[in-house]
Homo-oligomer: A and B are copies of this chain.
Amino acid sequence: MRILITGAAGFLGSHLCDRLLADGHEVIGMDNFITGSPDNIAHLAVNDNFSFYKRDVSNYIFVPGKVDAILHFASPASPNPQSKSGYFNLPIQTMKAGALGTHNCLGVARINNARFLLASTSEIYGDPEVHPQAETYAGNVDPVGERAVYDEAKRFAESLTMAYHRFHNVNTSIVRIFNTYGPRMDLEDGRALPNLLKQALLGQPLTVYGDGSQTRSFCYVEDLIDGIVKLLYSDEHYPVNIGNQHEMSILQFAEAINKITGNQAGIVYHENSRSARDPQMRQPDITRAQTILNWEPKVALEEGLRRTIPFFKEKLGLA
């Protein structure tokens, strides 16, 4: 297939390029580098099946020739208020990527009769009151909250995708991506795993907010990409959660990370101010992925961390 990937220079987008090229496809990447990095796709410059256009997909998309599939992964995604490339500091670009970017992609999918895959997110569930979250859960998002720019952009993108499927018969699919980690992730992403791993590798005590009882489920990137590609190759139209259902408390995470990295500096507890707006619990119900795609994650946390640590060390200048 000839496949267009927006956000190709991002964490997930670049892994998708690698995987789809390995599967024998031709890949066209697009990115405007406001959150993605040229480093993530530098190794693809010598691949004859890969081409790249620097472009803001919220403005327009033009692809010479026919495409068979479009994966829309372009969006700021970091919830870190301190991150310049996070959605708190790029609120309007984030909403445009979800609305105008998705609209442009769906237009290209429609005229090409192409399969469309939308990168949605567990954030559409907001701060969930149902646990774990199945795809039927409507979520708990305050549309005028500060986080809402990302959440509502993705909810809108999902609705627009289904509208194109129902009204224009476009072959669409929607993946709801849960927390993911691995090489090429943004160390300043603001989520618990990179924060803790960074501290551990620097020999610092790990900062745990509150009592550390809030839970997370982290999926290794290779597992996640495998689920996305299985969805792409399927004919499913309704949203599918892809993530690791193995839930751990932040405190358990911190202890596991200290153990794997051999960090002796222990754990310090901070007041809960920063994480007050973070969801307290987040865990995917992956029954649909198991049933429809025959997919489930395979890489255990210890193994995933081992594969991720070299990347973190390099970024931290410790390699």
Cβ < 8 Å to B, chain A residues 145-164 = 146, 148-149, 151-153, 155-156, 158-160, 162-164
- On whether the beta carbons of B99 and A156 are closer than 8 Å, the reply is yes
Residues of B within 8 A of A168 (CB): 92
Assuming the contacts A92-B167, A163-B92, asked whether A158 and B143 have C-beta atoms less than 8 A apart, the reply is: yes
Does A306 lie at the interface of the complex (its beta carbon under 8 Å from any beta carbon of B)? Answer: no
- On whether the beta carbons of B153 and A156 are closer than 8 Å, the reply is yes
Assuming the contacts A91-B166, A92-B164, A100-B99, asked whether A148 and B141 have C-beta atoms less than 8 A apart, the reply is: no
Q: Which of A99, A100, A149, A166 has the most CB of B within 10 A?
A: A99
This chain: copies in complex: 2
- On whether the beta carbons of B144 and A162 are closer than 8 Å, the reply is yes
Does A252 lie at the interface of the complex (its beta carbon under 8 Å from any beta carbon of B)? Answer: no
Our pick among B100, B159, B166 for the contact of A143 (Cβ within 8 Å) is B159
Does A136 lie at the interface of the complex (its beta carbon under 8 Å from any beta carbon of B)? Answer: yes
Minimum distance in angstroms from A276 CB to a CB of chain B: 16
Nearest residue (CB) in B for A158 is: B143
- On whether the beta carbons of A142 and B152 are closer than 8 Å, the reply is no
Our pick among B91, B142, B158, B162 for the contact of A138 (Cβ within 8 Å) is B142
Bound-complex Cα distance A146 to B163 (A) = 8
Nearest residue (CB) in B for A90 is: B167
Does A174 lie at the interface of the complex (its beta carbon under 8 Å from any beta carbon of B)? Answer: yes
Does A95 lie at the interface of the complex (its beta carbon under 8 Å from any beta carbon of B)? Answer: yes
Bound-complex Cα distance A103 to B91 (A) = 13
**Per-residue 0/1 for A9-43: is the Cβ within 8 Å of any B Cβ (1 yes, 0 no)?**
00000000000000000000000000000000000
Bound-complex Cα distance A280 to B98 (A) = 31
Bound-complex Cα distance A237 to B307 (A) = 48
- On whether the beta carbons of B159 and A149 are closer than 8 Å, the reply is yes
**Per-residue 0/1 for A82-122: is the Cβ within 8 Å of any B Cβ (1 yes, 0 no)?**
00000000011001101110010000000000000000000
Does A71 lie at the interface of the complex (its beta carbon under 8 Å from any beta carbon of B)? Answer: no
Does A51 lie at the interface of the complex (its beta carbon under 8 Å from any beta carbon of B)? Answer: no
Minimum distance in angstroms from A156 CB to a CB of chain B: 4
Minimum distance in angstroms from A6 CB to a CB of chain B: 17
Does A53 lie at the interface of the complex (its beta carbon under 8 Å from any beta carbon of B)? Answer: no
Bound-complex Cα distance A153 to B159 (A) = 8
Assuming the contacts A92-B164, A160-B92, asked whether A143 and B126 have C-beta atoms less than 8 A apart, the reply is: no
**Per-residue 0/1 for A118-145: is the Cβ within 8 Å of any B Cβ (1 yes, 0 no)?**
0000001010000000001011111110
Q: Which of A96, A99, A159, A162 has the most CB of B within 10 A?
A: A159
Nearest residue (CB) in B for A142 is: B138
Residues of B within 8 A of A163 (CB): 91-92, 95, 149
Residues of B within 8 A of A166 (CB): 91, 146
**Per-residue 0/1 for A183-202: is the Cβ within 8 Å of any B Cβ (1 yes, 0 no)?**
00000000000000000000
- On whether the beta carbons of A160 and B95 are closer than 8 Å, the reply is yes
Closest 6 CB pairs of A and B: A99-B99, A152-B159, A91-B163, A156-B156, A143-B155, A148-B159
Task: Supply 6 A–B pairs (Cβ within 8 Å), ascending by A.
Answer: A92-B164, A99-B100, A139-B141, A139-B143, A143-B158, A149-B160
